[in-house]
A and B are shown apart, each in its own frame.
Chain A
Amino acid sequence: MRPATRSMLMAGLISVSVWQLGEAAYIQAKAWLAQRLIAAAWDQARAAGVGVKPWPWADTYPVARIEAPRQGARLMVLSGASGRTLAFGPGHVAGTPLPGEHGNSVISGHRDTHFAFLRELRSGDVLMVQAANGGVVRYVVSAVEVVHRKDMRVLLDAGDDRLTLVTCFPFDSPVTGGPLRYVVVATRDLQGIVEI
């Protein structure tokens, strides 16, 4: 291989590497930065009592804040679970009750950004949810399962008050669009209602 060819090849490969690194960093950075902006919108929303968009042209707004004390995760949940919304934060699946309300509230999030902590959740772990009205509801993880993405039973009302967190599975696969989902079910802990 002539030195010139080699240099060009190396330059090309390093560019690709940098570009891919940039793409990955962009996804992570967007996920991180959006959460900061949303948190600000959340405080405003709670003060105003209505949904406030985190940036003027956003097509979503925060509906709840979810906290996993043991895992050190604190996330703003957005309305809707479209791909665009999920880039900014976990999304509340339309058609299910809001987090903190009665019934089965379903939230989905990206396995490699916001919901990466789901793999560390174990039965008995605590999740705190702050609803838009300010009330904090305590949930305790009761089940973890892996289901097919067409298995919509996950979204059905189970007759109790629960939080269902959904993310992609397996966590470490580089391939997107797989058929499996990792589902964490947390049921409401009636002893733990705190008003703040």
Chain B
Amino acid sequence: MQTVLNRTSIAPNSQSYSIALDVIRFLALAVMAGTGFALLLAVTIVALTLVVPPAAASSGAPIVAAVSHSEKPGEQTSGSFLMRVRPGGEYQRSPVLSTDVKIVVSGVVARATVSQQFRNDSADWVEGVYVFPLPENAAVDRLRMQIGDRLVEGQIRERGQARAEYEKARANGSIASLVEQERPNIFTSSVANLGPGQTLTVQIEYQQTLRYEEETVSLRFPTVVMPRYIPGNPQSEKAGSGWSPDTDQVPDASRITPRVLAEGEALRNPVTIHVELDAGFPVGEVKSRYHQVKVEKRDDNRYEVSLAVGPFPADRDFELVWHPLAGEQPRGTLFRESADGETHLLLTLFPPVGHKADEKRLPREVIYVIDTSGSMEGTSIVQAKKALSLALGQLAPEDRFNVIQFNSTTEQLFALPREASTANLVAARRYVDRLRASGGTEMAPALQAALAYPAKEGFLRQIIFMTDGAVGNEDALFRLIQDKLGRSRLFTVGIGSAPNGHFMTKAAQLGRGTFTYIGDVAEVGEKMAALFGKLEYPVLSDIAVEWPAGVTAEAYPQKLPDLYLGEPVVLSARMEGPLTGTVEVRGQSAGEAWSAKLALPDAHDGKGMGVIWARRKIEALMDSQYQGADREKVREDVVALALKHHIVTRYTSLVAVDVTPVRPLAEPLDSQAVPTNLAQGANHEAIFGALPRTATPARLHWVLALLAAALAFIVYATRYATRRLS
């Protein structure tokens, strides 16, 4: 204050001296105040964040227990998407691919023709390799290669032999194609010796049964393989052309991980779909869940469906659903095919919806498991979180629950399941709100955690497993479910635009629960409501089938699972004997005996029942490995059956070879993998990673602090200007 008073007496020419003094005084003041405040602030905040646990700070809520799956820290399993992605722009020389799909539906059976057109725009001779998905129950039984106007029929061979024939043709310079199965829902088609500017079409045909549940038939056609997480240690050899090396846990990883387009590249692989639908009953409504379609009605039962706005990029599942007119749902259907002296049947039967009015609702112990790995980032985690919130709202006060999340590590909300009290539910909701998706998909520890301890006596134990199933080690997981299930029941909820249908259905089958798909956040309510209906209890149990006298039948599934609300009995059989009498299906519904009969002579003629039966039997054989069946024996049986029925399996492939060589042997052959799109809504970086973010905003704060101080000084200095003016 002294200096301020003094200044009035200072001569005007000494003003510069006065300003210098002012600067020093201002700086001194600012620095003192600033550092004082900053220190105080910093110490307080640090003390607060370090000393008060975040969970305990909020009104008595339970502390979120972070439980790592590995007993010892540092035992983190390696394996991830580890960055085997290459920068974009290297795909120019791969053949251009487009897919045309025609599906003919009769009742609950579909026959599809998938035409993959490979076009070589490069100036070289190329081999194209395309990894693509099909429905997990598809029985691929035909391959035709179309070169110009010519068609070359594919032959079924044992896998190794098919590959040898294909490679021989490739070396000879002959056009050839090969279709191999990597997983029940992942296939690879290869075409060799595609000349410059040439176009070639690979036509694949498959047969499948459709899902018919809750009075809705759904036809699902996957178009892209979501990048799969590959656990395990990398091996030096690499069998395929994918972005992942093979690992000890997933020895064929490089065959199921097709290169994904780099971020920002235009989507590729256009798909067109045309469906001829003969529902077999008067249809109420036909709708497509994720794509705009044009539906043309032929008559009460028959429709034609095509895409309304042309092809769509292969980046998400196509799903068409229809349901019978009210009151027109058939109680059951029986289809028959007699060919080559064999008769095959396909039986579908809907049990009545029984409710035990006086039955007391059993309390439940529900373990919610949510996948928070990188592949869930984007729209998927939003869907999963919403579904999980809805599910939490379904708990009754007498129920018990826990929430487990997993990515590279597994973490659970409570160390042990707790009662669904308001406080516990509040803690759970807060926990779910905070979930973020990143990292790997180490699914086994999460399954182990969910199945770890026995259910509390008197409780129904249910596991709701929400995931996109984007993993490569399905078999190990299935074995785990088979071994550890006990009294628990596993219900899978497939999330996202391209969930792994094989994982969803098989895990639910082995877990003796059901599967649900959620492909859009708008569907969450409807789909979860259906699931909640199923969770109550199985509506039909102890199901047995009795064949008429004189008939012997080999039916699959061999042991019928308990049915949940809206599910039908589906049985595929090969029978010997006269087509007379009735098949009787019996079970327990709402504590009472239930039975239904279908007369064999009433069976409709159907096509492809034999293939469907063989495909079911192959599935049963493959599944027997989870219970320890001899691999070599299974392989022999599968190969024999597949060769007879012309079906592509893990052990058999279709190969087509054009006899005349076309490529001059002096010209080299360039092998090119067809890149795939990233599934819609997924986040490239969350899956393929990037180096960590390693800059703090500290420097920015310093700059801003200095800037504000400088501005403050300028304002301070302006008082001279004002004073002089006055």
Partner-B contacts on A (CB < 8 A): 1, 3, 6, 9-10, 13-14, 16-31, 33-34, 37, 50-51, 55-57, 59, 61, 63, 79, 81-83, 86-87, 91, 93-98, 108-113, 115, 132, 147, 149-157, 166-168, 172-178, 181
Contact = CB atoms under 8 A, between A and B. Distances in A.
Given A21-B702, A86-B694, A150-B690, 9 more contacts: A3-B719, A16-B705, A17-B705, A22-B45, A24-B698, A28-B698, A30-B45, A108-B692, A112-B696
B315 to A, nearest CB: 21
Interface in B10-36: 30, 33-35
Nearest to B697: A176
Interface in B674-726: 685, 688-709, 711-712, 715-716, 718-719, 722
A37 B46 CA distance: 12
Interface stretch (B74-82, B473-481, B519-527): B74-82
A27 B701 contact: yes
A23 B30 contact: no
B37 interface: yes
Interface stretch (B49-57, B246-254, B283-291): B49-57
B712 A17 contact: yes
Contact of B73 (A24, A50, A152): A50
Contacts of B72: 50-51
B549 interface: no
Pick from B685, B690, B709, B715 the residue with the most CB of A within 10 Å.
Answer: B715
Contacts of A31: 696
B82 A24 contact: no
B83 A20 contact: no
B440 interface: yes
A106 B96 CA distance: 39
Interface residues of B, number: 65
A26 B697 contact: no
B700 A154 contact: no
> Which secondary structure dominates chain B's binding surface?
helix
A20 B72 CA distance: 41
A109 B694 contact: yes
A187 to B, nearest CB: 20
A13 B712 contact: yes
B83 A51 contact: no
Interface of B: 30, 33-35, 37-39, 41-43, 45-46, 49-50, 53-55, 63, 66, 72-74, 76, 78-80, 82-85, 87, 234, 408, 439-440, 685, 688-709, 711-712, 715-716, 718-719, 722
B45 A26 contact: yes
A10 B716 contact: yes
Contacts of B716: 6, 10
B694 A21 contact: no
A152 B690 contact: yes
A13 B689 CA distance: 41
Contacts of B34: 14, 17-18, 21
B373 to A, nearest CB: 12
Nearest to A30: B46
B74 A20 contact: no
Nearest to B36: A18
A133 B718 CA distance: 64
Nearest to A154: B691
A51 B695 CA distance: 27
A61 to B, nearest CB: 5
Given A18-B34, A61-B73, A174-B703, A9 B695 contact: no
Given A21-B701, A57-B54, A176-B693, A10 B712 contact: yes
A156 B82 contact: yes
B43 A167 contact: no
B718 A27 contact: no
Contact of A113 (B54, B66, B87, B696): B696
B46 A29 contact: yes
B46 A14 contact: no
Contacts of B63: 57
A112 B690 contact: no
Contacts, number: 210
Nearest to B714: A13
A94 B408 contact: yes
A153 B83 contact: yes
A157 B43 CA distance: 42
Contact of A51 (B53, B74, B694, B708): B74
B79 A20 contact: no
A74 B83 CA distance: 30
Pick from A27, A30, A63, A95 the residue with the most CB of B within 10 Å.
Answer: A95
B692 A93 contact: yes
B30 A14 contact: yes
A172 B698 CA distance: 11
A175 B699 CA distance: 8
Contacts of B30: 14, 17
Contacts of A82: 692
A25 to B, nearest CB: 4
Contact of A166 (B689, B691, B704): B691
A22 B37 contact: yes
A91 B719 contact: no
B50 A55 contact: yes
Nearest to A6: B715
Given A10-B715, A21-B35, A176-B695, A16 B704 contact: yes
Given A17-B30, A23-B697, A152 B685 contact: no
A57 to B, nearest CB: 4
Contacts of A81: 692
B78 A174 contact: no
Given A91-B692, A110-B694, A1 B38 contact: no
Ranked 8 nearest A-B pairs via Cβ: A152-B83, A51-B73, A24-B701, A13-B712, A17-B708, A20-B705, A22-B41, A168-B695
Contacts of A151: 691
A176 to B, nearest CB: 4
Contact of A25 (B39, B87, B689, B709): B39
B694 A181 contact: yes
A25 B691 contact: no
Contact of B705 (A6, A21, A30, A50): A21
Contacts of B715: 1, 6, 9-10, 13
A22 B42 contact: yes
A13 to B, nearest CB: 4
A108 B691 contact: yes
A86 to B, nearest CB: 7
Contacts of B49: 30
Contacts of A176: 693, 695-697, 700
Contact of A94 (B45, B50, B84, B439): B439
A18 B705 contact: yes
Contacts of B82: 95, 152, 155-156
B126 to A, nearest CB: 27
A98 B439 CA distance: 17
Nearest to A155: B83
Contacts of A94: 76, 80, 408, 439-440
A22 B698 CA distance: 10
A33 B46 contact: yes
B696 A27 contact: yes
A109 B693 CA distance: 9
Contacts of A55: 50
B83 A156 contact: yes
A87 to B, nearest CB: 7
Nearest to B41: A22
A37 B408 contact: no
Contacts of A109: 694
20 contacts: A9-B715, A17-B705, A20-B708, A22-B38, A23-B698, A24-B699, A27-B696, A57-B53, A86-B694, A91-B692, A94-B76, A95-B76, A108-B691, A150-B691, A152-B689, A152-B690, A152-B691, A154-B691, A155-B689, A176-B695
